[in-house]
């Protein structure tokens, strides 16, 4: 994909994306507050839908149907334990003490989209789960720090991969982050791996959704028969975090964090 197909955002565009980014943060705050043992992932979807609707925003996920997948049936992705990403909210998936869950949400307002995800523990989680979430969050922080005008796209992926592999975990290669703006998925694709100093040059006005997906065990994943749910092949734990980040003259600006 050539860099010429990347839509650069103006300061006014980025101001709008910041406003929708704060709605995404509010939704994830509300969902996170509702995450406790006994709650179904369908109830979490309802919390997200209510906060989104009150804010005057519309879902980026509901009905989304890329490359032959069935239309996505929720406004939130809820990915429990071995589910890496795109877990569909269900009444019969009930959170229990010791689970980890990835909550992923994106919406549109004023013509722009913002996209963010968090991984959180339910009650008391294992030491491995705690470390997995901590390493995944830190890998995103390092990737955000690489979002500087003049750096290269692979510097972002390398920041994720090097941190994750140093801690003995593995990076998922099949799914990537993405440009974001008037559409949820824009160019470029943003892999969570790469060779430092390679790839297209990052420029002021680019906005990227960076989303490390990290497995406790092997990197391999598979998609279940529902066409969405991506699980680790070895059924060990996975974590996923995401922020929408603007590359500006003042460095990286995280649009989906207060
Ligand atoms: N945040 C994810 C992404 O960037 C989720 C999209 S999948 C959907 O690709 F179906 F829920 F839309
Ligand atoms: Co995304």
Q: Is the CB of 186 under 6 A from ligand 1?
A: no
3-254 domain in CATH 3.90.230.10? yes
On average, the pLDDT of the chain sits at: 97
Q: Is the CB of 105 under 6 A from ligand 1?
A: no
Q: Which residues contact 87 (CB under 8 A, 6 or more apart)?
A: 41, 77, 78, 79, 80, 93, 102, 228, 229
Residue 4's pLDDT is 53
Rounded distance, CA 209 to CA 114, Å? 8
pLDDT level of residue 68 (50, 70, 90 thresholds): confident
Residue 14's pLDDT is 98
Residue 67's pLDDT is 82
Under a CB-based contact definition with an 8 Å cutoff, are residues 103 and 35 in contact?
yes
Rounded distance, CA 38 to CA 33, Å? 13
Nearest-CA residue for ligand 1 atom 2 is 104
Average pLDDT over residues 147-170: 98
Residue 101's pLDDT is 99
Under a CB-based contact definition with an 8 Å cutoff, are residues 26 and 39 in contact?
no
Tell me how far the alpha carbon of residue 11 lies from the centroid of ligand 2, in angstroms. Answer: 22
- Which numbered atom of ligand 1 lies nearest the CA of 184? 4
Q: Is the CB of 61 under 6 A from ligand 1?
A: yes
Q: Is pLDDT above 90 for 44?
A: yes
Domain ranges of the chain: 3-254
Average pLDDT over residues 230-241: 99
Pick left, alpha or beta for residue 81 (phi over 0 → left; psi -120 to 50 → alpha; otherwise beta): left
Percent over 70 (pLDDT), the chain: 98
Tell me how far the alpha carbon of residue 121 lies from the centroid of ligand 2, in angstroms. Answer: 21
Tell me how far the alpha carbon of residue 150 lies from the centroid of ligand 2, in angstroms. Answer: 23
């Amino acid at each position: 994909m050539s860099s010429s197909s990347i839509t650069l955002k103006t300061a006014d565009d980025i101001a709008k994306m910041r406003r929708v980014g704060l709605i995404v943060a509010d939704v994830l705050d509300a969902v996170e507050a509702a995450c406790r043992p006994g709650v179904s992932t369908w109830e979490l979807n309802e919390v997200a839908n209510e906060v989104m609707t009150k804010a005057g925003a519309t879902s980026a996920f509901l009905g989304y149907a890329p490359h032959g997948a069935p239309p996505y049936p929720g406004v939130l992705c809820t990915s429990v334990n071995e589910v890496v990403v795109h877990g569909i909210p269900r009444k019969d998936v009930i959170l229990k003490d010791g689970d980890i869950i990835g909550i992923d949400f994106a919406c549109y307002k004023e013509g722009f989209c913002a996209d963010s995800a968090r991984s959180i523990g339910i009650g008391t989680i294992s030491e491995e789960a705690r470390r997995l979430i901590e390493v995944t969050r830190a890998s995103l922080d390092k990737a955000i720090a690489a979002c500087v005008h003049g750096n290269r796209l692979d510097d972002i992926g390398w920041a994720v991969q090097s941190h994750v592999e140093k801690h003995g975990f593995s990076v998922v290669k099949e799914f990537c982050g993405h440009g974001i703006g008037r559409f949820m998925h824009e160019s470029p694709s943003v892999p969570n791996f790469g060779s430092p100093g390679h790839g297209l040059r990052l420029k002021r006005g680019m906005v990227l959704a960076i989303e490390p997906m990290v497995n406790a065990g092997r990197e391999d994943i598979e998609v279940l028969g529902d066409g969405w749910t991506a699980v680790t092949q070895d059924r060990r734990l996975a974590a996923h975090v995401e922020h929408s980040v603007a590359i500006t003259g003042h460095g990286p600006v995280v649009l989906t964090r207060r």
